[in-house]
Structure 1
């Protein structure tokens, strides 16, 4: 796929052009994780340590992806080039899908590097069960949906940096919150909140607790499909508004 290769090349070239910036970002992410979790390493079991890293990985994937998408749209809007996307031969949905995927790829690579660095520094391996790939893949699907949703808001409003920060901090609260999902009301909330079923599933996997595989697979798929659908619907509505109005942003 030429478009994917081109976007990967652009991102790689940018990292090579600004290696200190890339290294600094990796250092910040690594130090932040160590300050929060490794400094209390003696109090964390191997299972809790693994879940902390998995949750941090999910947060990094979300944060990096939506931030990258927003800054791309913001820069294009400021330079007056955002409208040109709608003149491309490919559908605009495809353009942002490629952006989404490439952002996720680079965020995943960064987390692998951070995981290796943590293992070398702390001499403590991060033990992640192979089945964790299922909720992680569903996390990626959900993030793509959230990416489309935030793109729609950015196209409508142009300036959504505050919303981006709200999403990032709300996710951290969701990650750290200890919610009892045995109650019916919270079970419904678990299905609706983006990423929540997958986070809870990853926690159960990391702690090696007994759980219903079919139940968590079902609610995780439901959550992913729900937010992917919401993101695409809102994105298509924003596209329609742009085509009708003939411009991006504003009323």
Structure 2
């Protein structure tokens, strides 16, 4: 999906959401912001610096400062590597530590930050030996180990069970307050957006059709498309659920 005339601003400490139907261009925007797809026109800037003009050292700095957490941790984690190796590779690649003991200390610290405790219990596990929520926490640990300013989370909780999803959302919020991390949170899940976002961009057919604070968007949506998205979102209602169960029995 091509995107056209999309302008986003993300700041450390902010929780910014991008919502829209499948094929609206959300993930394409994420790939451009991560420097994986160069824009054919326009610019992606970080602290006033254009990505296209960055040299190798500046790009490494950018890749440390802007991290990603993806939808499918099983695909994002090398199944042949243990958790220790997965996190150690990032530390060594970015020159955060060289000595084996120092690298291990940073790996344990990252696991503790994402509530995989005790860290020793997870070091030698392979991805298939972890639950879905634990794999997602390893992905988050791999991101926060670099002390990023921004994390781009592309459908990062959509594949998780409700209770596990709540735990991951709470973790992201904790990291935001404790480490001043800002998020670009790409999702279909409007109830999650309503709970955690500060500002919301609505995309359709590659364009931003509405941008507003969370309170404004949910109380007074400005476009028919946004109203349709909100109307389509499931709303838990125990009374209606009981009526549905009775009618189905």
TM-score, with length taken from structure 2: 0.23
Which structure has more strand as a fraction of its residues?
2
* Higher normalized contact order (CA 8 Å, seq sep 6+, divided by chain length): 2
TM-score, with length taken from structure 1: 0.23
